[in-house]
A and B are shown apart, each in its own frame.
Chain A
Amino acid sequence: SQQGEEDPQALSIQEGENATMNCSYKTSINNLQWYRQNSGRGLVHLILIRSNEREKHSGRLRVTLDTSKKSSSLLITASRAADTASYFCATDTPLVFGKGTRLSVIA
C-alpha cells in the first residue's frame, strides 16, 4: 500500500483566511480521500475525489487532483476557529494515511 504525505506539517492562520494543504502520493490511484481529526478523536471523512476528476467542492472545501504530478490539495475557505484540527489524505486500498497537517485557526 502506498502512503499519502501531507504538506505542510503545521499551518497557523487567522480566522477568515484560506488554508491550503497539499498531499503527494507515489503510484496510480483509483481515488483520493481527505479526512479531518480533532485532537484525540476519530477521523471524519471530508471528501473523496476520483482519479478521473480534477476538482471537487463541498461547502467551504475545495479539493483538486493532479494525477500527472501525483498530488492533491485541500483548500478551506473563510476558515473558522472550529476548523482547527489535523487533516489527512489517504489513497489505495486499504487506506493508508500520512502524518497529516495540523491546522490552527486563530480567532
Chain B
Amino acid sequence: ETGVTQTPRHLVMGMTNKKSLKCEQHLGHNAMYWYKQSAKKPLELMFVYNFKEQTENNSVPSRFSPECPNSSHLFLHLHTLQPEDSALYLCASSQRLGANTGELFFGEGSRLTVL
C-alpha cells in the first residue's frame, strides 16, 4: 500500500467510448503525475500537476484530458482513443515539485485496452 490508489485497475473500451481513470493520494502531497507505460518503451511522462495547476503537458494528444480538482485527486479523461493507446497508465505523487523532488509514490496502475 503506497498511499496512491488508482481505479479502475483494468479497463476495456471501444474507440468511440468515453471513460475516465481516477487517482487518489492519501499522503498530503502537492504534486501529481500521469505516466504511460507501453510494451518495450520507456515510461512516458504525460502530465504534471503542482498545487492543482498543470505544469507540464508532454505533447499528449487531446484525446487524453487531465483534471486535477484538488491536490489529492487526479483524473485522466479518455475519448475516441486508438488501439495504440492500450497501455498501463500509472499515477504518482510527490511531496513537492522542484530541484529536489524526492521520492515518487506510484499507484498500481490502470491497465487500459482499446479495441
Contact = CB atoms under 8 A, between A and B. Distances in A.
Q: Which one of A35, A44, A95 has the greatest number of beta carbons of chain B within 10 Å?
A: A95
A30 B98 CA distance: 10
A45 B105 contact: yes
A81 B102 CA distance: 29
A99 B88 contact: no
Q: Which one of B6, B33, B42, B48 has the greatest number of beta carbons of chain A within 10 Å?
A: B42
Interface string A33-68: 101000011111100100000000000000000000
Interface residues of B, number: 30
A31 B2 CA distance: 22
Nearest to A96: B45
A96 B41 CA distance: 13
A87 interface: no
Interface of B: 2, 4, 6, 31, 33, 35, 40-43, 45, 48, 56, 88, 90, 92, 97-109, 111
